[in-house]
Amino acid sequence: MLIEVYVMSNIAEPDDINLRKLLDKSIELANLSDDMCQDVEFKFIDDDQTLMALAFVSKETDLLRSLCTLIENKHHRDGQLIARSMLEGLGHLLLASKDPNYAHKWRAYVFVADFKLILEKEGKHEVVDPLYKLHIIKQLDTEGKQFYSTKARKALQDDQALLPDPYKNENKWAGMDIAAIYKRLERQEIYDSAYRDMSGWVHWGISGLTKAIDFKDTNIQYKSQLSDVTARNTLIVGFEAMWEAARVLNSFLIKTKKAHLVPRFDKNLSKLLDDYRNAGFTLSFIKI
């Protein structure tokens, strides 16, 4: 099954769950997260973790709002793509919150991205600032090796010359997949349940697509909606991923000029979580 495999045994029955209330709380959480991300003044040159937290929470906020829009307008099925993306972002952010080197690695890929852009411009015979190119190459002397592709590493091992672009594509910057990230975090249950259960639909697998079709005799009919309980559980994943990401950001805001607002944000996050549980939802993967 899709995310319906991830219906936690202690979640209330569909008739007892107020989807409207969950949508309202999700929108309230997105608004709070957005507030946390606005006008944050800090020494971003020296603080990779806070920069990454701000960037990731900003995107998680946009994704949660998009998820709410889909579910509110009865376009449930593709909400799984959004919820799964939110879990992917959460995994990266949780790891960065524990390992500042991981946050630095995420940020350092910007030199690879700019280098690839320079190569693209040169390939089109566009003008490239030579001083900027020199700056990027100098940065890559320090940061670049960690982003070498498998082919580049093998070439070095075999004492062969590197290709003009020896670096991984951006979707490979982390050097590990999301399963490895959650395993490293010792929270593999998130991957084994919600994340993996949505793979069939995300990757066009038969396990996902056949659940979008009603078979009756020799006729088939496409279903654009998921069941209400599956829609709710998709939104549960989105809400909890957003809440955890916002909590991470709040822990880093103490180092910024918004430090005086951290207690208020913490109180509001706690209240939202209390409201969530009081509405009949049991925590699926948030750790308090």
Structure confidence by residue, pLDDT tens digits, 249-261: 999 999 899 999 9
Helix axes 19-37, 48-72, angle to 10 degrees: 150
Tokens for 37?
Answer: 């991300």
Structure confidence by residue, pLDDT tens digits, 25-47:
999 999 999 999 999 988 777 89
Structural domain includes residue 286: no
Same domain, 274 and 214: yes
pLDDT for residue 5 is more than 70: no
Residue pair 201/80 in contact by the 8 Å Cβ criterion: yes
Same domain, 19 and 42: yes
Is residue 227 very low, low, confident or very high in pLDDT (cuts 50, 70, 90)?
low
Query: Where in the sequence is the domain holding 139, given as residue range(s)?
Result: 104-172
Task: Look at residues 119, 150, 172 and tell me which one is the last residue of a structural domain.
Answer: 172
Same domain, 84 and 185: yes
How far is residue 223's CA from residue 153's CA, in Å, rounded to a whole number? 47
How far is residue 87's CA from residue 192's CA, in Å, rounded to a whole number? 12
Same domain, 194 and 160: no
Same domain, 127 and 243: no
How far is residue 23's CA from residue 145's CA, in Å, rounded to a whole number? 45
Report pLDDT for 180: 97
